[in-house]
Structure 1
Amino acid sequence: MATLCHQPPLFRCRKKPRPAVKSTISTIHCSKVKNPDPFKENKQAQVDYDAGTHRLYTTISGVKKFDLPKRHRLRVDGDRFQKDWSLSEVVERIVKLNHWEDIESVLNRWAGRFARKNFPFLIREITNTGSIEHSIQVFNWMKNQKNYCARNDIYNMMIRLHARHNRIDQARGLFFEMQKRRCKPDVETFNSLINAHGRAGQWRWGMNIMEEMLRAAIPPSRSTYNNLINACGSSGNWREALKLCKKMTDNGVGPDLVTHNIVLSAYKTGSQYAKAISYFELMKKTNIRPDTTTHNIVIHCLVKLGNYEEAITVFNAMREKRSESSPDIVTYTSIMHMYSVCGQVENCHSVFNTMVAEGLKPNIVSYNTLLGAYASLGLSEQASSVFNEMEQNGLHPDVVSYTSLLNAFGRSELPQKAKEVFDLMRRNNCKPNLVTYNALIDAYGSNGFLAEAVDLLREMEQAGLQPNVVSISSLLAACGRCCQHVKIDSVLKAAKLRGIKLNTIAYNSAIGSYMSVGEYEKALALYRCMREKRVKPDSVTYNILISGCCKMSRYTEALEFLVEMRDLNIPLSKEVYSSAICAYSRQGQLTEAESMFNLMKEDGLQPDVIAYTAMLHAYSAAEHWEKAFAVFQEMELNNVQPDSVACAALMRAFNRGSQPGKALLLAELMREKDIPYIDAVFFEMVSACTILRDWKILTEVIKIMETSLPRISVGTLNHLLHSFGKVGKIDTMMKLFLKIVASRGEADPTTYAILLKNLLAAGNWRKYIEVMQWMEEAGVPPSPQMYKDLTFFAQTSSGTENSAAIRERLEPFKSKYGYLTAEGENNPSLPTNVLITSTYACDAST
C-alpha cells in the first residue's frame, strides 16, 4: 500500500554565506521551521494496488511537541512513554477503542495535551465520528486538565452531539453546566439547544428557550428560526410553524431556501398537501430558486393529492434543468411510489431502471418501493426476483423488505411460501413487527386457513406484540370467507376483551362477514352499534349492506339503506349504484333504475360492466329488448368489455322479446370474442333454439356443452331434455340423458320425471318402465304419481294387449313398494305433473 501525503517539512536547511576568508570547510546550520497553521486540513490518499481500491481523507497535525512551550517540551523529552502523535492519529486511536476501555491512557501519553489549542479541534473530530460515548469520556478528561478553559464552541459541539442521539436531558444539563463555569451561551448555543428539542418533537421547550434567548439580549439568527420552525413542523404543528415564519419576517430576518423547505415539510408532515402546493406557488414568485429538496416535497404532496400528471410534469422539469435541481434518489423513489399506488408496476420498474441508468445507486427504500409495487398485485415471482437482486447488490433486507415479500406470497394464494419468508426473517435476526404479523394473518385468512390465522394471533401476543384493529379486521374478513359465523362472534368478543376499538374498516369486515353467511339480523345489529358509537360509515359500509340485501332478496331494506346513505351526504360509488339499480329492477321500478343509471353518469362515474349488466337485467325483466340492446351497444362504444353475465342478460331479453335469432347471433359474437359460455348462456341458447325449433343448431349447442356437462346446472339440462322430448325427439333426448349420467355419475329426480313425462307422451311405455328400473338401480325410488300415470296410460291409450303387458311389468313395483290398492287400481287419479312442472320451473329460473 502506498500513501501519498502533502505536508510541510519539519526542518528547513539553510546554508550560510561563504566568508571573505577562504576556507575549505563549509558549515551548514539547520533551524526548526514553525508550522504556520497546525490546524489546517491536509488532504491525503491511500491506494491499494493489489485490491484496486483507494481512500481519500483529511488529517490535522495539531500543535505537536516542537510547538509546545519549553517547560512542557522538556517534560515530554524526558519521558519515553510520551508520544508526539498528530491530532488525527489520536482520534484514530481513540475511535478504535471500545467505549468502556481506558481512553485516558491514550490521551495521557499524547504530547499535544499540553496545548490548549488542541482541545476544540480534538472534540470536534471526535464528535464528527458520531461516537457519543467516546466524546463524553474525552470531554470529561479535558475538563480535568489544568490548561483546559471552558469555551462556547466546545459546549456547542457537545450539545449538538447529544441532540443527534436524542439525549435532551444531557444537552440541557450541558447548557446549565457551561453557565456555572462562567461560559456565557451565545446564539450557536441556543440554536443547538433548540435543535436538540426539535429533534425530540418538544417544540414548546424550543419556544421557551427562544424566549430565554431574547431575555439574554441575544438576537435570534436565521438558523434559530429555522430550527424552531423545524421543531414545530416535525411535530405536525404546521400552524405554529407558519406563525414563526411570519414572526421571522416581521423581525427583519428574511426566510431563505432552508426556511421555505422547512415550512413545506411542516405542511407535508401535517398532511396539509393542498396548502403545501399553494405555498410552493407563492415561493416561486420570490427570488429564491427551489432546489431538489423542495421539488421532492412538492412531488410527494402531489402524489398524495392524486395529481399524478402534475407530479410527472415536475419530475420531467427536474430532469430537463439538471443545473438547477437535478432529481436524486428520493425523487425517483417518490415517482416509483406514485406508480405503485396507481397499480402501474411496469412503469414503476421503468423508473427504477432509469434511476440506475442515470448513475444513482438504489438504496433499501428504492428496492422496498419496487418490492411493494409487485406485492400489492400479488406478483410473487417478480417480488422474489427483486428481493434476490437486492441481496446480490449488498443490501441487507429489513423488516419492510421481508413484509412486502410475505405479502406478495399471501396475495398470490401461497400462504405456505409466506410462512417460509416469515421463518427466514427470524433466522436472519430480523424481528417481525406488528405489520408483518398482520400480513401473515391476512395471508392465512384470505386463503381459508382460519385456524392458522387464529394461532398466529396468539403467537403474536406471546412475542409481546398486542394485536390492533388491523389484526381484528383481517380475522373478521377471514371468518366471512370461511363461512364460520360462530368465529365472527368470538373475534368480536376477543377485540372487546383486549380493548380494541373497531374503526370503519373493522366494522365493514364484520358486517360483510355476517352478510356472507346470511346473518342479516346480526349484521344489522352491528351496523346500529357502529352508529351508536359514532363510527362514521363510508361508501364501502353501505355497499356491503345494499349488495348483501339484494343477494338475500331484501330489496326494500336495500333501498332504505340507499336513502340513509344519501341523507348522510356520502358519495355513491360505482358498486352502490350497481346494487341500487339491481334493487330497483327487482322491485319492478324500472323508471327509478333508469334514473339511478343516468345519475351515475352525471356524477362523473363511468359505468363499469357490473352497472351495465344491472341495467340489462332491469330491461330484461321489463321485456324491453330494444333498450337492453341499446345499453349493450353503449357499453361497447365506451370500451367496456362485456362479460358472460352481461351477454346472458341480453340473450334473456331477446328471448323474452321474441327475438331468439338475435340471441343466437349474440352467442356467435361471444365465440368470436372468446367470451366463455356459462350456464345461463347455455340456458338461453337452448331456449332460443326451442323457440325457433332449430334442432340442428341445438345439436351443435349440445356438442359445445359436452365438455362442460358436469358444471352445467340441473335446470339447464332439464330444459334441454324437455325441449327434445316436447317435439318428439326421444332418441336424442335419451342419448343426451346417458351423456349426462356418464359425466355426472348420477341424475336428479326431476331429470327422471322429465324423461318419463316425455316418454309417456310419445307412447313409449317400454322405455318408461326401463327408466323406472334405472331409477331403482340408482337408489331413486319411483314416486306413486309415476306409477299412476303409467296405469292411466295402460287403461286409456295402450289397447287391451299392451295394457296386460304393462300390468305384468308393473307387478314387481307393486310387490316392492305397495303402490297398488283397490282404490288406486280401479280409480287411478288423473296424471298430474304439478310437482314436475314446479320443480322444473324453479331450476330453470336458477
Structure 2
Amino acid sequence: MVIVIPFPACFTPLQNPMASINNTLFLPTNGNLKKSLHCSKPDPFKENKHTQVDYDAGTHKIYTRIPGLRKLDLPKRQRSRVDGDRFQKDWTLSEVVERITKLKHWEDVEGVLNQWAGRFARKNFPVLMREITRIGSIEHAIQVFNWMKNQKNYCARNDIYNMLIRLHARHNRIDQARGLFFEMQKWRCNPDVETYNALINAHGRAGQWRWGVNIMEDMLRAAVSFYLIVFSTLLVPGSGEPLGSVLCNSPRIPPSRSTYNCLINACGSSGNWREALKISKKMTDNGVGPDLVTHNIILSAYKTGAQYSKALSYFELMKGTNVRPDTTTLNILIDCLVKFGKYEEAIEIFNSMREKRAECHPDIVTYTSIMHMYSVCGQIESCRAVFDALAAEGMKPNVISYNALLGAYASLGLSESVSSIFDEMKRNGIRPDVVSYTSLINAYGRSRQPKRAWKIFNKMRRDNVSPNLVTYNALIDAYGSNGFLAEAVELLREMEQNGLQPNVVSISTLLAACGRCCQKSKIDSILKAAKMRGIVLNTIAYNSAIGSYMNVGEYDEALCLYRCMREKKIRPDAVTYNILISGSCKMSKYNEALEMISQLRELNIPWSKELYSSAICAYSKQGQLAEAESMFNMMKGAGFQPDVITYTTMLHAYSVGECWEKALAVFQEMELNDVQPDSVACAALMRSFNKGSQPGKGLLVAEFMREKKIPFTDAVFFEMVSSCSILRDWKRLTDVIEMMELTLPLISVGTLNQLLHSLGKVGNIDTMIKIFLKIVASGAEVEVTTYEVLLQNLLAAGNWRKYIEVMQWMEDAGVQPSAGIYNNILYFAQRSAGIENAAVIRERIESLKRKSVYSTMERKHCDLSLPTHALISSKQT
C-alpha cells in the first residue's frame, strides 16, 4: 500500500470560514471599516515537495514536483486547440520530464512533446530544459532543444544556451559547446557573462586553458565589436558623429568574479600555476577582489603543480585577509602538508577540525587524505583506525576511501587483508573501480603470488572494468619481480595491442625485472625497445637499468649508462649514486667508489640513509677509518637514524682497523637507540674482539646472542671457534662443536677448516677425525683444502699411518692428492720416520700413485657414452 501525501504549498483562504467564495477575506479593524486581503496566484514553477510512504516495504521517499503552465493557463485561442484533441495530454512539467528520460535516446522524444498541452506556453521551455540538464542526459537534452527550435512560439534565450553549454562541458564535448556559442549569436541572442563563464569552464575541464584566456579577451571586446558592425553608418542625432565611434566608449561585458575563478581553475587544473597567479593579479587590478573560492582554486593550482611550499606560504598570507578558510581550504592544506612530508602538522589540522565542528567539520575528503598519509608512512593500523572513525562519524565511505585503505595494505603486500577489504567493499554496495582492482593485483604481486594477480586481472575484465596503464604496470611488476620475465614482456605486447602505449614506468619495471633474473641481453633489448617507441628515460628508469647491470656483474655497461645519463642532462639522485657506490664495493672497485663520492659532493645532491651506509662501507674497505667515522657522524648530524646495516658497516670498519673499543661503543649505541643487532653485527663485533686479542669478550657476545635469541650463523661459529682456539678453551670448543653438529651441511669450508685446525693444533687428533667423519656423513661437500688441513695436523702429530689412510679416503672420494701432499709425507719419511718406517711409507706411497694412475686411465677409457672423436681426442690429451 502506497500513500502519497502532498505538502501544502501555501495557505488556502477557503479553509477559513470567514473567507468568501471569491478568495476575499474580511478582517475586523478598530473601527467599522473592513479591509480585504486578496491571495496571489500560486507560482506554477515552484517546486512542491511530496513524500511517498510504502508501509509494506517500510520505505519512504521525498521528491519534488513542478506543475508548470498547464491547459487552464493557456490563452483561449491555444486552449481551444487542445480541448478538441483527445491526444493532447494536460501533463505537469515534471511528468513530461519523467516520460522523456524513460525513453532511449533514439526513441521518439518529439512524439511525447507534441502530446503535451503545455508546449503552447513559451515560459515552460527554460524550466523544461533546466530539469532535463539537471538529470544529465545529454542525448535527451539535444533532442528536446532541437524540438524547441522548431516551435513557432520559441524564442532564443541565454539561459537555455548556458544550460546546454554547461551540460556539454560535463560530457567533455568541447566542440559542440563552442558550436552552441556561435549558434546563439546567429539567433541574435547576445552572450552574457554566464555564457562566457560556461564556455571557459568547458575548456577548463578539457585542460585547454589558453582557449579560456582567449575567450575572456573576446568577452571584453564582444559589445564593442557587435555595435561597430551594426551601427557604423548611423549618426548620433545632434552631433553628426558616427554611432560606432560613440559605442567604442560604451561599457564592455565585464568579467565577473565567477569568470576569473573559472579561468584560474582552468589554468590551475592543467598544472599551470604561474598563469593562474597572473590572472589572479589581473583580477585584483581590475577591481574584482578574490573570495574564498578564488583562494581555494589558487591553493589547488599550487597543489596540482607540486608547489607545496608555495601553497603553505599562500595559506599564511590568506590568514591575514578577512576571508576565513572552509573545509575545502583545509583539505587542500592537509594534502599539501602530506606531500611535503609535514605529517605532524597535517594531523594537528585534522584534530583541530574535529574539535571545531561548528566552523570546519571534516568531510570524507579530509578523512581520506589522512588515510593516504598513514598509507605513505606505512602505518596501516592507523589508516584503518581513521577509516573506522569515518564510519563512526556517520559518513558512508565511498570508493575513494576504500581505495586508500586498499592501497595501504597493498603497499606492504598483505594480500589476505586486501582481499578481505575488497569483499567488504562489494558487500556494502560499492562497485570496485580500476584503482581497486589495481591495488589487489599489486598486493598479490608483492606477496609473490603472480598467478593470483593474473586471475584478478581476468576477473576485472569480466566485470567490464577496463584495465589502464597503471594496472598493466602493476601486473608486469608482479611477474617481473617474481622471476617471470617472459610473461612480463608478453604483457607489454598485449598492452600495446589493446591500444595502451607503455610509459617510462613500464620500462623501469621491466629493467628491474631483468636485473633480478640476471639476463643482460634482455636489458639491452628493453633499452632498445624504449628508444624505438620514443620513451625518454627519466632518473628512475636509469636507476633501474644501472642497478640491473650491476646485478649481472656488468660494471662497465652500468658506468657507460651513467655517463649517458649525465650527457643527456638527466640529473642523478641519491639512489643513482647508492647503486654505483654499493655496486663498486661488491666488485672490489673501491677507488671507483671513492671517485663517485667525490662527484656526489660536487653536485650537492641530498644524501639518503642508504647512501651514507654505502659511503661508510667504501671508506672502511679502503682502510680510511677516519673518513668512515666522519661520514657516520655526518649522517647522524643530518637527522638520519642509523639502522642495523649502517651500524654493522661501522663495526666492520672498526674490525678492519682493530679498534675493538670503538666497535663496542657502536654496539652499545645500537642498543640505546633500540636497534636490534642481527647475526652479522654480532659476528663483526666478535671479529673485532678476536683481532684485538679480547677473545673472552667475543664469547660473551655469543652468550648475549643466546639471551636475545639471535640465530647463530656460519660467521658467528667461525669467530667462536677462533676465540676458543686463542683462549685454548677446549671445553668451550666442545660445546661449540655440539652446536655446530645440527647445521654441519650448512657450515662453510672456511669454518670447518678453522675447526679442524684448532683441534689438530692441540693434538686432539681423535676428535678431529671424528668431526671430519661427521662432516662427510652429513653429506657436506668436502674440498681438497679440508683434506690438506687434516693431513697437515696428522703429520705434525707424527701419525703417518693415518696420513696415508686419509690419502686413501681422498682417492676413494675422487679427490686427486696434490704433489705437495706426496712430497710432505716423503720428506717426513726421510727425516723423522726411521729407516724401517721410511721403507714402508715409500712402498705405500708408490702403491697409491700406481692406483691413482690406473684409476685415471680407467676413467678415460671406460666412458662408453663419449663419441669416437671424443675418445680419440682424450687419448691424445
TM-score (norm 2): 0.88
TM-fit CA distance, 1:35? 5.3
Residue aligning to 1:6? 7
TM-fit CA distance, 1:177? 2.4
Q: Which runs of 5+ in 1 are unaligned?
A: 18-32, 820-846
Q: 1: CA distance between counterparts of 2:166 and 2:620?
A: 71
Percent same amino acid among aligned pairs? 76
Q: 1: CA distance between counterparts of 2:169 and 2:458?
A: 37
Q: 1: CA distance between counterparts of 2:216 and 2:686?
A: 78
CA contact (8 A) 1:348 1:373 kept: yes
Matched to 1:718, the amino acid is: N
Query: Would the alpha carbon gap of residues 253 and 764 (structure 1) be closer, same or farther in structure 2, given more than 3 Å must change?
Result: same
TM-fit CA distance, 1:234? 1.7
In structure 2, the residue corresponding to 1:4 is in which secondary structure?
A: strand
Matched to 2:538, the amino acid is: N
In the alignment, is residue 127 of structure 1 matched against residue 113 of structure 2? no
Query: Would the alpha carbon gap of residues 16 and 417 (structure 1) be closer, same or farther in structure 2, given more than 3 Å must change?
Result: closer
Query: Would the alpha carbon gap of residues 61 and 183 (structure 1) be closer, same or farther in structure 2, given more than 3 Å must change?
Result: same
In the alignment, is residue 379 of structure 1 matched against residue 385 of structure 2? no
CA contact (8 A) 1:268 1:297 kept: yes
Residue deviations 1:126-168 (CA, integer Å, cap 9, x gap) = 1111111111111111111112222222222222222222222
In the alignment, is residue 582 of structure 1 matched against residue 617 of structure 2? yes
Matched to 1:635, the amino acid is: M
Residue aligning to 1:62? 68
In structure 1, the residue corresponding to 2:53 is in which secondary structure?
A: strand
Residue aligning to 1:115? 121
In the alignment, is residue 591 of structure 1 matched against residue 626 of structure 2? yes
In the alignment, is residue 189 of structure 1 matched against residue 195 of structure 2? yes
Q: 2: CA distance between counterparts of 1:284 and 1:716?
A: 69
Q: 2: CA distance between counterparts of 1:505 and 1:614?
A: 27
Residue aligning to 1:368? 403
Residue aligning to 1:177? 183
Q: 1: CA distance between counterparts of 2:640 and 2:567?
A: 32
Query: Would the alpha carbon gap of residues 582 and 3 (structure 1) be closer, same or farther in structure 2, given more than 3 Å must change?
Result: same
Residue deviations 1:225-267 (CA, integer Å, cap 9, x gap) = 2222222222222223223333333333322221221121122
Matched to 2:738, the amino acid is: K
TM-fit CA distance, 1:431? 1.9
Matches within 5 A, 1:456-495: 456-495=491-530
**Range 547-556 or range 582-591, more displaced:** 582-591
TM-fit CA distance, 1:805? 4.5
**Range 227-236 or range 113-122, more displaced:** 227-236
CA contact (8 A) 2:744 2:780 kept: no
Residue aligning to 1:136? 142
Residue aligning to 2:79? 73
Residue aligning to 1:95? 101
TM-fit CA distance, 1:185? 2.5
- Choose the corresponding residue for 1:601, options 610, 613, 636: 636
In structure 2, the residue corresponding to 1:154 is in which secondary structure?
A: helix
**Range 420-429 or range 8-17, more displaced:** 8-17
Q: 1: CA distance between counterparts of 2:137 and 2:174?
A: 16
Query: Would the alpha carbon gap of residues 12 and 590 (structure 1) be closer, same or farther in structure 2, given more than 3 Å must change?
Result: closer
In structure 1, the residue corresponding to 2:172 is in which secondary structure?
A: coil
In structure 2, the residue corresponding to 1:740 is in which secondary structure?
A: helix
Aligned length: 804
Query: Would the alpha carbon gap of residues 644 and 8 (structure 1) be closer, same or farther in structure 2, given more than 3 Å must change?
Result: closer
Q: 2: CA distance between counterparts of 1:473 and 1:386?
A: 30
Residue aligning to 1:84? 90
Residue aligning to 1:153? 159
Matched to 1:3, the amino acid is: V
TM-fit CA distance, 1:619? 1.7
**Range 321-330 or range 233-242, more displaced:** 233-242
Residue aligning to 2:688? 653
- Choose the corresponding residue for 1:787, options 809, 822, 840: 822
In the alignment, is residue 617 of structure 1 matched against residue 652 of structure 2? yes
Matches within 5 A, 1:557-706: 557-706=592-741
Matched to 1:38, the amino acid is: P
TM-fit CA distance, 1:668? 0.8
CA contact (8 A) 2:14 2:20 kept: no
RMSD over aligned Cα, in angstroms? 2.2
TM-score (norm 1): 0.91
In the alignment, is residue 426 of structure 1 matched against residue 461 of structure 2? yes
TM-fit CA distance, 1:598? 2.3
Residue aligning to 2:857? none
Q: Which runs of 5+ in 2 are unaligned?
A: 23-38, 224-251, 855-877
CA contact (8 A) 2:9 2:48 kept: no
Residue aligning to 2:767? 732
TM-fit CA distance, 1:757? 1.8
TM-fit CA distance, 1:68? 1.5
Q: 2: CA distance between counterparts of 1:521 and 1:213?
A: 62
CA contact (8 A) 2:636 2:642 kept: yes
In structure 2, the residue corresponding to 1:3 is in which secondary structure?
A: strand
Residue aligning to 2:47? 41
In structure 1, the residue corresponding to 2:448 is in which secondary structure?
A: coil
Matched to 1:285, the amino acid is: G
Query: Would the alpha carbon gap of residues 63 and 7 (structure 1) be closer, same or farther in structure 2, given more than 3 Å must change?
Result: farther
Query: Would the alpha carbon gap of residues 152 and 16 (structure 1) be closer, same or farther in structure 2, given more than 3 Å must change?
Result: closer
Residue aligning to 2:536? 501
TM-fit CA distance, 1:769? 2.8
Residue deviations 1:409-467 (CA, integer Å, cap 9, x gap) = 11112222222222222222222222111111111121112222222222222222222
Matches within 5 A, 1:192-231: 192-215=198-221, 216=223, 217-231=252-266
Q: 1: CA distance between counterparts of 2:69 and 2:285?
A: 46
Residue aligning to 2:308? 273
Query: Would the alpha carbon gap of residues 498 and 171 (structure 1) be closer, same or farther in structure 2, given more than 3 Å must change?
Result: closer
Query: Would the alpha carbon gap of residues 804 and 254 (structure 1) be closer, same or farther in structure 2, given more than 3 Å must change?
Result: same
CA contact (8 A) 2:469 2:502 kept: yes
**Range 289-298 or range 197-206, more displaced:** 197-206
Residue aligning to 1:709? 744
Query: Would the alpha carbon gap of residues 750 and 67 (structure 1) be closer, same or farther in structure 2, given more than 3 Å must change?
Result: same
TM-fit CA distance, 1:270? 1.8
CA contact (8 A) 1:746 1:778 kept: no
Query: Would the alpha carbon gap of residues 154 and 764 (structure 1) be closer, same or farther in structure 2, given more than 3 Å must change?
Result: same
Residue aligning to 1:328? 363
Q: 2: CA distance between counterparts of 1:61 and 1:527?
A: 74
Q: 1: CA distance between counterparts of 2:185 and 2:486?
A: 64
- Choose the corresponding residue for 2:470, options 431, 435, 444: 435
Matched to 1:769, the amino acid is: I
CA contact (8 A) 1:91 1:122 kept: yes
In structure 2, the residue corresponding to 1:323 is in which secondary structure?
A: coil
**Range 794-803 or range 615-624, more displaced:** 794-803
Q: 2: CA distance between counterparts of 1:51 and 1:135?
A: 34
- Choose the corresponding residue for 1:449, options 470, 475, 484: 484
CA contact (8 A) 1:384 1:405 kept: yes
In structure 2, the residue corresponding to 1:43 is in which secondary structure?
A: strand
Query: Would the alpha carbon gap of residues 485 and 176 (structure 1) be closer, same or farther in structure 2, given more than 3 Å must change?
Result: closer
Residue deviations 1:629-681 (CA, integer Å, cap 9, x gap) = 22222232233222222211111111111100000001111111122222111
TM-fit CA distance, 1:54? 2.0
Q: 2: CA distance between counterparts of 1:515 and 1:439?
A: 24
CA contact (8 A) 2:745 2:780 kept: no
TM-fit CA distance, 1:809? 4.2
Residue aligning to 2:249? none
Q: 2: CA distance between counterparts of 1:402 and 1:331?
A: 24
Matches within 5 A, 1:694-843: 694-807=729-842, 809-810=844-845, 812-817=847-852
Q: 2: CA distance between counterparts of 1:590 and 1:255?
A: 61
TM-fit CA distance, 1:605? 2.6
Q: 2: CA distance between counterparts of 1:585 and 1:175?
A: 73
Q: 2: CA distance between counterparts of 1:713 and 1:451?
A: 35
CA contact (8 A) 1:264 1:279 kept: yes
Q: 2: CA distance between counterparts of 1:174 and 1:12?
A: 49
Q: 2: CA distance between counterparts of 1:341 and 1:639?
A: 23
Q: 1: CA distance between counterparts of 2:103 and 2:41?
A: 30
Matches within 5 A, 1:397-436: 397-436=432-471
Matched to 1:325, the amino acid is: C
